[in-house]
Structure 1
Amino acid sequence: MLQHAGGVSFKFMKSACNIAVDFIKSRGVLVPAAAHSLGADMCKELKTKVLRLQPPTANGPTAEQRSGADGAEILSCTVKALKDGHVVAVPTDTIYGLACLAQSSEAIRRTYSIKGRNGQKPLAICVGEIQDIYNYCKVKVKRELLGDLLPGPVTLVFERSEELNTDLNPFTSLVGVRIPDHGFMRRLCQMCGEPLALTSANISSNSSTVEVHEFQELWPKLAVVVDGGPIGDKSRLGSTVVDLSVLGKYRIIRPGCALSSTIDVLERKYGLSRDMEG
């Protein structure tokens, strides 16, 4: 169903905004940040805000590279939406994700509803710093191991702590935690001051997405869509998920995009043995 503002369709307004911004940029009248700001102002009547991050200048966007008003405004808008209990779409270092506050039970329920996700499938959490993991997980590996794998395209599964919302994955004592190698996502978690629940931005059982237009049918259900451009090599594999909840062992739950490098760290550097059970 299309969102309408003043009788004008969501798609029409979106196209008009994009055309106007592209025209202004092509004429060289405004710098990119101002052009993006103008586009946001033109679309401000839309319920869903589609906000474009400026292109990165290195391999992957970083908060430092995006220190101007454009990036700051996008962060502020996204944080506000999350704090208000909404679900947002965000870029990560692997695929696009849907995020909400992990400590908000209502936001978690909304996320499952938007995706049409089976309620027995868990959501991971995303934090900004390694130290944050200790607040919500019972870690049985060396801190150095965490530093070797994170930030990066890896989800580490630990026993959950009592600090984590009991309505998040109530069917299991474990939780997966991520720190994406993506400056915007890390800064977003830091500004929220609490973990985000994170899952792929797609309807359940559909392919993972690496560009925002690929999950456009979900936009009307989201408060903010952060467009970080095409992601990575478009492998769509998602993060490698590894269970580290058993002392001295590891178990691969999902191979993902960083399997070989992850196993190399776990076995060769830290001497963990692979648990072939389960």
Structure 2
Amino acid sequence: MKTEYYDLRDPVEREAGIAAGSRALISKETVAFPTETVYGLGALARDAAAVERVFTVKGRPLNNPVLVHVSDMDMARETGRFSELGLELAKLWPGPLSLVVPAASWVPDRVTAGLSTVGIRMPSHEGALDLIAVSGPIAAPSANRSGRPSPTRLEHVREDLDGKVPVILDGGPCQLGLESTVIDVTGRVPVILRPGAVTREEVAALVGDCQVAQGVLEQVEGTAARSPGMLHTHYAPRGEAVLIRGGHGLDRARALRAEAEAAGRLTVIVGPNLPREQGMIPCDIMGEHGLFYALRAADEMGAQFVIIMGTGTAGEGLAYMNRAIRAAGYRVLEESR
């Protein structure tokens, strides 16, 4: 398959790209498109066979649900049933927030992984909104091979999906660099299933309380995930990875790197607030040069061992640590102060 590329930052290509993407979606194909969080791989949410192609292209486990992306509240209400709590949090749309609500009867089981709920998101990226508005609700996980770091730039999508999808829409680097916050609003208190740029502190300030699901920072077993990113090892670099968290972690990381390199293994340290020196890849907790960007950079260097530095879990730190723990395959070294 030959993949067509369109740069949405160019007005002429933008119009042609949205049209080409919509045609591909209506033809039951998949399309990669940018959002403010990461690039998505989408199919028409109403078409179970088309959604099945998303799983096939990604190599995605079938018990992992996908989010439905909408362009306005009318489309959101057609996709799920919103409580007062859900409607209050929907005031944060458009943006990096997905709300888990009871699914409408038309939503295919392939989208929900057989659950009675569906995650709905209204992105703020204008290109994504235009594509959804002309095509209808789009079911979309991140546009990468399953298990790999999520793509935040065109080159990441090209590396994983060139020749596998008919259309890739280029929106440049993603502003936030981590997937959306996913919040279950089916109960009386909102529960974060996957943290993101919309923080628990922000949610609690808006509605009075916010809980965090057990699986956010721990490995959870089960037959079906309540949210994307809960059951499986995700975001992993090609090399072995380990996460260090604690007060003197950088000293431990340097010692580990020296030991690994003495054994002939190319080793890099990635994380926030690192000094700019050889063998280190500084990254933002949230932003276009975030963790996924750093892990992809480690892969480009051919790193055989990747040491990920931890951070605190307040604010956006919770989202960073959620991804870092999974990228390390839950291999965590605790470093006391």
2:171 and 2:210 map into 1 onto residues whose CA distance is 38
Q: CA offsets per residue over residues 25-77 of structure 1, 9 Å max, x none?
A: xxxxxxxxxxxxxxxxxxxxxx211111226xxxxxxxxxxxx4432221111
Q: CA offsets per residue over residues 91-127 of structure 1, 9 Å max, x none?
A: 0010111001011111111110111111000011000
1:171 and 1:163 map into 2 onto residues whose CA distance is 13
Amino acid at match of 1:50: Y
Aligned to 1:54: 9
Q: 1:240 aligns with which of 176, 181, 184?
A: 181
Q: 1:103 aligns with which of 26, 43, 46?
A: 46
Q: Tell me, which stretches of 5 or more residues in structure 2 are unaligned?
A: 216-337
Cα pair distance change 1:276/1:142, threshold 3 Å: closer
Aligned to 1:201: 143
Amino acid at match of 1:173: S
- Alpha-carbon distance, 1:144 to partner: 5.3
Aligned to 2:168: 225
Amino acid at match of 2:172: G
1:105 and 1:189 map into 2 onto residues whose CA distance is 17
Aligned residues: 214
Contact 2:46 2:106 in 1 (8 A): no
Cα RMSD (Å) = 2.0
2:133 and 2:157 map into 1 onto residues whose CA distance is 26
Matches within 5 A, 1:95-174: 95-141=38-84, 145-174=88-117
Aligned to 2:153: 211
1:161 and 1:122 map into 2 onto residues whose CA distance is 15
Aligned to 2:189: 249
Cα pair distance change 1:141/1:97, threshold 3 Å: same
Structure 1: which 4+ aligned runs deviate by more than 4 Å? Answer: 275-278
Q: Secondary structure at the match of 2:5?
A: strand
Q: Secondary structure at the match of 2:162?
A: helix
- Alpha-carbon distance, 1:87 to partner: 0.4
Q: CA offsets per residue over residues 152-188 of structure 1, 9 Å max, x none?
A: 0111111111132344224211111111011111111
Amino acid at match of 2:207: Y
Greater relative CO, 1 or 2 (CA 8 Å, sep 6+): 1
Moved more, 251-260 or 148-157: 251-260
Q: 1:93 aligns with which of 36, 39, 45?
A: 36
Cα pair distance change 1:276/1:177, threshold 3 Å: closer
Matches within 5 A, 1:184-199: 184-192=127-135, 194-199=136-141
Q: Secondary structure at the match of 1:220?
A: coil
2:211 and 2:21 map into 1 onto residues whose CA distance is 39
Q: Tell me, which stretches of 5 or more residues in structure 1 are unaligned?
A: 4-46, 56-67
Verify: 1:270 aligned to 2:213, yes or no: no
Aligned to 1:259: 199
Contact 2:6 2:13 in 1 (8 A): no
Moved more, 196-205 or 69-78: 69-78
Q: Secondary structure at the match of 2:21?
A: helix
Amino acid at match of 1:53: L
Q: TM-score, normalised by structure 2?
A: 0.59
Amino acid at match of 1:135: E
Matches within 5 A, 1:35-50: 47-50=2-5
Aligned to 1:62: none
Contact 2:142 2:150 in 1 (8 A): yes
- Alpha-carbon distance, 1:272 to partner: 4.4
Cα pair distance change 1:170/1:95, threshold 3 Å: closer
Identity of aligned residues (%): 29
Cα pair distance change 1:74/1:215, threshold 3 Å: closer
- Alpha-carbon distance, 1:226 to partner: 0.4
Contact 1:54 1:71 in 2 (8 A): yes
Verify: 1:181 aligned to 2:124, yes or no: yes
Contact 1:156 1:241 in 2 (8 A): yes
